[in-house]
Amino acid sequence: MKKYKAGKESRVVISELMLPSHSNFSGKIHGGYILSLMDQIAFACGSKHSEAYCVTASVDKVDFRKPIEVGELVTMKASINHVGTTSMVVGVRVEAENIMTGKVKHCNSSYFTMVAKNDEGKSITVPGLILENETAVRRFVRSIIRKEDASARRDRFKASEFRLEDHIQLLKEYNIQLAL
Ligand SMILES: CC(=O)SCCNC(=O)CCNC(=O)[C@H](O)C(C)(C)COP(=O)(O)OP(=O)(O)OC[C@H]1O[C@@H](n2cnc3c(N)ncnc32)[C@H](O)[C@@H]1OP(=O)(O)O
């Protein structure tokens, strides 16, 4: 296995025509189906980089910006944005093209953390990442910040540290009744 690999060595692109079987009654493709495709491409990209099968540790986060319609051609692009010791952050971008007009819309982007595993299910070290241009550096740094933000979020709302009285004032602004 190489010690360092460039992002282009593991970049993955898939295109799939959206069929009625994956849509709701108004012809929009189910978000869960899109997530499933995104997970698959993240898995492929992470596995190519690490040369091992991976598991999905987390997904951060998915905003469905535009609906995807039946008959549109969806293209997903995945590349490694960040590597840790055993984990990789895979950036996935989803676009949908109206085949009749050629118009392309950006439907969502998300970041999957994949962890490389050996045959015994033990997490294994992944190759480092060669950052070949400014975009790659920006994505790497953004991943560091996202990880820090996620960790701060987790700590802030730990059940053991949550104090109801600290939040009563905030709750008054919302459409709720407290019935504790
Ligand atoms: C094919 C599939 O998609 S499988 C189905 C969906 N996925 C799963 O079932 C995974 C279930 N979860 C697990 O197996 C484990 O909790 C794992 C692999 C995610 C983490 O395993 P742990 O034994 O806790 O390992 P550990 O704490 O050493 O973490 C391993 C790496 O994952 C990272 N990691 C673990 N949890 C998270 C998380 N929630 N978010 C982001 N990164 C995470 C760690 O930072 C670490 O990265 P590093 O080695 O680059 O520093």
CATH number of the domain residue 123 falls in: 3.10.129.10
- Tens digits of residue pLDDT in 6-46: 999 999 999 999 999 999 999 999 999 999 999 999 999 99
Residue 50, burial from CB neighbour count under 10 angstroms (0-12, 13-18, 19+): buried
Question: CA torsion, points 58, 63, 67, 69, in degrees to nearest 10?
Answer: -20
Q: Are 37 and 16 in contact (CB under 8 A)?
A: yes
122 to 22, 86, 115, 125: CA distances (angstroms): 35, 10, 10, 10
For residue 140, tell me if it sits in a domain.
Answer: no
* Predicted TM-score (pTM) of this structure: 0.92
Whether ligand 1 lies within 6 angstroms of the CB of 79 is answered as no
Measure the CA–CA gap between 169 and 81, rounded to whole angstroms: 40
Test site for ligand 1: of 114, 115, 125, most ligand atoms within 8 A of the Cβ: 115
Q: How many domains are there within the chain?
A: 1
For residue 167, tell me if it sits in a domain.
Answer: no
Instruction: Look at ligand 1, atom 15, and give the residue with the nearest C-alpha.
Output: 57
- Tens digits of residue pLDDT in 117-128: 999 999 999 999
Domain that holds residue 94: 4-133
Whether ligand 1 lies within 6 angstroms of the CB of 86 is answered as yes
Phi, then psi, of 52 in degrees rounded to 5: -150, 160
**Which pLDDT band, with edges at 50, 70 and 90, does 168 fall under?**
very high
For residue 62, tell me if it sits in a domain.
Answer: yes
Share of the chain above pLDDT 70, in %: 100
Test site for ligand 1: of 55, 85, 111, most ligand atoms within 8 A of the Cβ: 55
For residue 164, tell me if it sits in a domain.
Answer: no
Q: Are 64 and 31 in contact (CB under 8 A)?
A: yes
Q: How many helices (H) and strands (E) does the chain have?
A: 3, 7
For residue 24, tell me if it sits in a domain.
Answer: yes
Phi, then psi, of 158 in degrees rounded to 5: -60, 135
To the nearest 5 percent, what fractions of the chain are helix, strand and coil?
35, 35, 35
Whether ligand 1 lies within 6 angstroms of the CB of 124 is answered as no
